[in-house]
Amino acid sequence: MIRSATSSPLPSTQNGAVIMPNSAQTTQAGNDSAVESDLNAPVDLPNRIDVTNLNIYYGAFKAVEDVSMTINPQSITALIGPSGCGKSTFLRSLNRMHEVIDGAYVEGSVVINDKDLYGPGVDPVAVRRKIGMVFQRPNPFPTMSIADNVLAGKKLNSKRMSKTEAAELVEESLRGANLWNEVKDRLDKPGSGLSGGQQQRLCIARAIAVSPDVLLMDEPCSALDPISTLAIEELMLELKRTYNIVIVTHNMQQAARVSDRTGFFTIEGTGKPGKLIEMDTTEKIFANPAKQATQDYVTGRFG
């Protein structure tokens, strides 16, 4: 069942706690533990990501320590935690964007489709093509047309396409990003002429145009108004049928509304590495987490 962000009631809060996370996962079962174990069990489908003992460094500084997690395909995984705990750093390590920073490196493994992204001979550019990224601020190329923005990644990555192929890809990607109807009459106009929410959907169209396996999203709605935010959330719920989606968010309600599983990261103090404290079904993390630190964070007592 595809849930709609707008048709499901918003999570309500009680003492700051989000008490109605992603309820569609549990309504049918009547047996919470069975549902939880299903969602937590590694899914044997393509594009599952298995992270094992990952340490992430900026030079001598260890920013993230010893993270192991399984990220299931055809689902949305939310990463939450206080500022500076390493969520963005961790996300960027999932498609080898981390190492574009001078002196940055990782230890450990990130395996997808039986291949360690950090194994010998793996081309980071090929990894980034298969594992796309959408950033906090919509970043279309401002002077490029809407159509060319959609094609930007494709043109960088492959040989020339025919005009017909390009037009088809533009339409398909914009439809996939729920933007086609709004822009179909101005495809040759600059991407910068769109609203913030439209620009973010344009960036999603650009990301999906290269047919990635995974979509990483770092606070994709933090610069957007609530209506655009709901549009992106609806889109994510549709896209998860096809993609493995990982989203970093500071918005607890958003994590509760869209994600299937949630990982909580935190940091003990300045200069200390961020750690994954707990990962479970979103239902469990928000309603009944195992760790006190998680409880404190999701109820707003910390961070």
Ligand X SMILES: Nc1ncnc2c1ncn2[C@@H]1O[C@H](COP(=O)(O)OP(=O)(O)OP(=O)(O)O)[C@@H](O)[C@H]1O
Which stretch, 39-47, 53-61, 85-93, 232-240, contacts Mg ion (CB under 5 A)? 85-93
Q: Residue 86 interacts with ligand X (CB under 6 A)?
A: yes
We find the least distance from the C-beta atom of residue 171 to Mg ion, in angstroms, to be 33
Size of the site for Mg ion (CB under 5 A): 1
Q: Is 2 exposed, middle or buried (0-12, 13-18, 19+ CB in 10 A)?
A: exposed
Closest to ligand X by CB, 97 vs 214, is 97
The mark string for 252-291 relative to ligand X (x by CB under 6 A, - otherwise) is ----------------------x-----------------
User: CB neighbours of 43 closer than 8 A, spacing ≥ 6?
Assistant: 72, 73, 74, 75
Which stretch, 18-26, 57-65, 66-74, 118-126, contacts ligand X (CB under 6 A)? 57-65
**274-281 vs 261-267, strand pairing mode:** antiparallel
Pick one of 26, 72, 88, 294: the residue that binds Mg ion (CB under 5 A): 88
Size of the site for ligand X (CB under 6 A): 13
Length of the chain: 303
Pick one of 5, 18, 51, 85: the residue that binds ligand X (CB under 6 A): 85
Q: Residue 145 interacts with ligand X (CB under 6 A)?
A: no
Residue labelled with tokens 């994600």: 259
| Residue 131, SS3 per DSSP | strand
Q: How far, CA to CA in Å, does 33 sit from each of 38, 248, 281?
A: 8, 26, 10
Residue 84 token pair? 């500076």
Closest to ligand X by CB, 49 vs 67, is 67
Q: Residue 67 interacts with ligand X (CB under 6 A)?
A: no
Distance CA 80, CA 100 (A): 24
Q: Residue 60 interacts with ligand X (CB under 6 A)?
A: no
Q: Choose from Mg ion, ligand X, none: what does 84 bind? Cβ within 5-8 Å by kind.
A: ligand X
Distance CA 276, CA 265 (A): 4
Q: Residue 89 interacts with Mg ion (CB under 5 A)?
A: no
Pick one of 22, 89, 145, 229: the residue that binds ligand X (CB under 6 A): 89
DSSP 42-104: PP-STT-EEEEEEEEEETTEEEEEEEEEEE-SSSEEEEE-STTSSHHHHHHHTTT-GGGSTTE
Which stretch, 21-29, 77-85, 191-199, 281-289, contacts ligand X (CB under 6 A)? 77-85
Binding site for ligand X (CB under 6 A): 58, 61, 63, 81, 83-89, 101, 274
